[in-house]
Amino acid sequence: MAVSDTERSPTRRRQPSNAKSIVGLTGPAYLWLIVTILLPLAAMLYFSFLSDVPLPGRDWQVTLSNYAAFFQEDFYRTLMLRSLRLGFEVALWCFLIGFPCAYVLAKTIKGRWREALFLMVIIPFWSNALIRVFSWTMVLRGNGMLERLLDWLIPGFGSLNLMFTYEAVVIGLVHSYLPYMILTCYISLSTIDDDLIDAARSMGAGRLTVLRRIILPLSMPGIVAGAVLIFVPVIGSFMEPRILGGREGTFLGTVIEDQFTSVFNWPLGAALSFILLACVLIIFAIFQPILRRAS
Amino acid sequence: MASVTVSHVNKSFGEFRALDDVSIEFADGGFYALLGPSGSGKTTLLRQIAGFSFPDSGEILIGGEAVESLPVEKRNIGMMFQNYALFPNMSVFDNVAFGLMVRSTPRHEIKARVGEALELVRLSGYDERKPHQLSGGQRQRVALARAIVFRPRVLLLDEPLSALDKALRLGMQVELKRIQREVGITTIFVTHDQEEALTLSDKVGVLKDGKLLQEGPPRELYERPATAFAATFLGDANLFEGHVEEGELALSDGTRLRATAPLAGVGKATCAVRPEKMAIAEKGEPLRADHNHLEAELQEIIFAGNSLSYLLRRGDIHLRVFAQNRATAELQPGQRVRLTWRVADTIPVEA
Ligand SMILES: Nc1ncnc2c1ncn2[C@@H]1O[C@H](COP(=O)(O)OP(=O)(O)O)[C@@H](O)[C@H]1O
Ligand SMILES: [Mg+2]
C-alpha cells in the first residue's frame, strides 16, 4: 500500500520539514486573517449583545434587544427586503449587460483588439470609487449630461428626473460591479472549446439553442461566481445609495452606517450587520444545490 | 444520403490561397478520403462542405441542391471532430440525443434511436456516463453515434482517429468501415495518414497547397501516381530524373529506362518506381526483355524481421528496395548488384 511504502522509504525523515513548510507558508496568511477579520468580527458580535457602547462613563449591560428590534419593527424588515431586491436586481443587470460583453471578448474578438477592450473593462476598477459615483451625479441630475444628450437626440424629450431615485442607485451600482461579472464570465467562456459550438451547430442547433444548451450551462460557474461577488457587497452598500439615491437611497447598508457614524449606536449597527450576514448565509444555503451543480 | 459536388471552389484568407479551384465529386454512399500534408487545406475544404465557412467563389451541391447560402445548421450534415468535442455537461445519452432534440423528435422516438445508435457503435449501457468517464476510444464512438443518429445526408470526419494510439486506431478503422457500410452514408474523411486513406476509402483525393492533385480509387492512385508528390506521399517511391530520348528516359549517365508507355515530348522527364516492385537480380539470372535493369552499389541492409530494406546508390541517385525475408544469396554492403523491375512498373510522373 502507498502508506506503508512512504513509511519505509528514505524520504520519511523529510516529512516533518514538509509539515513545517506548510505551516511556514500558510501561517502568516492565517495569522493576518485572524487578526484583521476574526478579532474585529468577534468584537462586533460582542457589541451586538450590549445595550450601549462599552465606554467608561456609559451604562451598559448584556441584552438581546438589538436583535429583537429587527423583528419587532416592520421598518427593518422592509429595508432588508429592499436591500435583497437591490442585490438581485444589480446582479441581474450585471449579468444581462456583462455576459454578452464577456462572450464577445472571449469568442468573437481575437488578438490585440481583445487586450484593448479588456483594458477598457478594467480601467473603471482603477479609478476612485467616490469619483466614479460623483461623476454619475453629473450625468443623471436634472438637466445633466444624460438629459441633454437625449434632448439633443430627440428634441422635446423633456426631463427624466433620474437623480435621487432607486433607478439611479441601480445604475451606479451596476457600473461599479459590472467588471466582476465580465471577468468571471470571460474566464468561464474562454475555457469552452470552440469545437463544442461547431459540433452543436453541425447537429442542427441554431444560435439560441447553442446558447441555451451549451454556452450558458458551461459558463454557469462564472455566472454564479460573478453573481455572488456582486450580490454580497451590494446588499451592504451605502455609498452609492446615499449619493445617488438621496432620500430614496435608504437601505439596510445605509442604516447600519448611520448607526456607526452619526447615531453612534454601535450595538444596533452590529446586530443589523449580523442579521444581514445570517440572511446571506441562509440564501446561499437554500441555493446550495444549484450553486454546487453549477460549479 | 446524398452525393456531394464541389466545383471550382476558391477560398482565401487574406493574401493566402487556402483552396485553389478545387473540383471534386463525392458519389452517394461512397467512402472518400481527402489526403494531404498538414496545411494543405483539407480542413478548410471540409469546413466549406459543412457550411462553417463559405467559399469566395465556386459551387457546392449536396444531393443536387446548391447549399452555398445555407449555414451549417441548415445543411443536415453529421460531423466528427478531431478531439471528439463531446458536450462535457451532458451524459452520453444526451450527447447522442442532441441532434434529435434540436429537430423536436418525439421523446419515445429519441429513446429508440439513441439506443439503436449506441448499439451500432457497441456502447449500449453507457447512456448515463459523462464524457470524462469514458476512454478515448469510447468517446470516439459516442462522437460517431452522435453524428449519425439524426440520419444526416453526409458524414464529415476531420482526422477523427489521429488522437488514438496505434492499436486503437486500427480497431476503430475497422469499426468505422463496418458502420459506414451498415448505414450507407456518404462519408468524407480527412487524413494525413496515407495508410489510413488507402485502407478505408473507395476513393482518395490528394491535396497539396490548396490544389486537388489527383483523385481515384486507392489502388489506381498507388499504382499510377500522376505526380512525384503523389508518388512519394502515398507510399515510398524511387524517382528517376532524366530527359526523353526516343520515347525512353535517359539518365544523366546515359542509362536508358523504358516506361509503361513510350514517353511523349522532349526535354526533362521523371519516372517513379515503387521499392517493392524492384528486385536484386541473382547471379547469372538472364536479362529479361520486359524489364529495366540498373547497376547500383548496395550501401545498407535494414533488417525488420519478415522484411528487408536495401538502401542503394548509383551516382547521386539514392534508391530503396523492399524485399521479403527470403534471401537466398548473402548480400554484403559495398557489393555491386543489378536491379531489375518490370517496364510496366516504371511510371512517368510530373515532377
Ligand atoms: N481562419 C483562417 N485564417 C487564416 N488562415 C487560415 C485559416 N484557416 C486555415 N488557414 C490556413 O490555411 C491553410 C490550410 O489550413 P487547413 O485547411 O487547416 O490545413 P489542413 O487541415 O490540411 O492541415 C493553412 O496554411 C492555414 O494556416
Ligand atoms: Mg486540419
Judge if B216 and B250 occupy the same domain. no
| Domain containing residue B313: CATH number | 2.40.50.140
Which residue range is the domain that position B246 belongs to?
Answer: 236-349
Residues B99 and B248 in one domain: no
Give the residue ranges of DSSP H helices in A34-111.
39-47, 65-72, 74-103
pLDDT, tens digit (0-9, with 9 covering 90-100), for A238-256 = 999 999 998 888 999 999 9
Q: Which of A46, A83, A131 is nearest to A235 (CA)?
A: A83
Is there a contact between A213 and B98 if contact means CB atoms under 8 Å apart? yes
For residues B189 and B276, state if they share a domain.
no
B205 lines ligand 1 (CB under 6 A): no
Instruction: Render pLDDT for A174-222 as a digit per residue (tens, 0 to 9).
Output: 999 999 999 999 999 999 999 999 999 999 999 999 999 999 999 998 9
CA of B18 to the centre of ligand 1 (A): 6
- Specify whether B202 is located in the same domain as B242: no
Cα(A39)–Cα(A47) distance, rounded to whole angstroms?
Answer: 12
Q: Please judge whether A204 and B81 are an interchain contact, meaning their C-beta atoms are less than 8 angstroms apart.
A: no
Shortest-distance Cα residue to atom 25 of ligand 1: B39
| Average pLDDT of the segment spanning A37-60 | 86
Binned at pLDDT 50, 70 and 90, residue A7 comes out as very low
**B158 domain residue, yes or no:** yes
Ligand 1 atom, smallest distance to B37 CA:
22
Would the ipTM clear 0.95, i.e. be above it?
Answer: no
- Contact check, Cβ <8 Å, B85/A214: no
Q: Does B96 map to a domain? A: yes
Q: What is the pLDDT of residue A6?
A: 43
| Cβ proximity of B22 and B45 under 8 Å | yes
* B29 & B156 share domain: yes
CA–CA separation, B209 vs B44, rounded Å?
11
Per-residue confidence (pLDDT) for residue B104, from 0 to 100: 93
Report how far residue B329's alpha carbon sits from residue B280's, in angstroms, rounded to the nearest whole number: 10
- pLDDT at residue A24 tops 60: yes
Same domain? For B258 and B176 the reply is no
Structure confidence at residue B328 (pLDDT): 61
Backbone angles phi, psi at B151, to 5 degrees: 50, 65
Residues of B in contact with A208 (CB under 8 A): none
In a shared domain, residues B70 and B201? yes
Q: Do A204 and B150 touch (CB under 8 A)?
A: yes
Q: For residue A199, list chain B residues with Cβ-Cβ distance below 8 A.
A: 79, 81, 85-87, 146
pLDDT tens digits, one per residue of A160-176: 788 899 999 999 999 99
Residues 84-123 of B with CB under 8 A from A: 85-89, 98-99, 102-103
Nearest alpha-carbon partner for B216 in B63, B35, B59 = B35
Identify the burial level of B248 via C-beta atoms within 10 angstroms of its C-beta, where 0-12 means exposed, 13-18 middle and 19 or more buried.
buried
pLDDT confidence of residue A2 = 42
pLDDT tens track, chain B, 351 positions: 689 999 999 999 999 999 999 999 999 999 999 999 999 999 999 999 999 999 999 999 999 999 988 999 999 999 999 889 999 999 999 999 999 999 999 999 999 999 999 999 999 999 999 999 999 889 999 999 999 999 999 999 999 888 888 888 888 898 899 999 999 999 999 999 888 898 899 999 999 999 999 999 999 999 999 999 999 998 899 999 999 988 889 998 888 899 888 888 788 999 999 999 999 988 888 888 899 999 999 999 998 888 889 999 998 889 999 988 876 667 888 889 999 999 999 999 988
Determine contact, residues A220/A294, Cβ cutoff 8 Å.
yes
How many structural domains compose chain B?
Answer: 2
DSSP A275-295: HHHHHHHHHHHHHHHHHHHH-
Q: Which site among A202, A216, A295 would you substitute to test the B interface, given the most B Cβ atoms closer than 10 Å to its Cβ?
A: A202
CA B124/CA B110 separation, integer angstroms: 15
Q: What one-character DSSP code corresponds to residue B71?
A: -
B79's enclosing H/E stretch is strand B77-80
Check whether residue B306 and residue B246 sit in a common domain: yes
Kindly state whether residues B272 and B151 are assigned to the same domain: no
The amino acid that residue A72 corresponds to is Q
Q: The domain A72-294 is classified under which CATH number: 1.10.1040.10, 2.40.30.40, 1.10.3720.10, 3.40.50.720? A: 1.10.3720.10
Q: Is the distance from the beta carbon of residue B13 to the nearest atom of ligand 1 less than 6 Å? A: yes
Domain ranges of chain A: 72-294
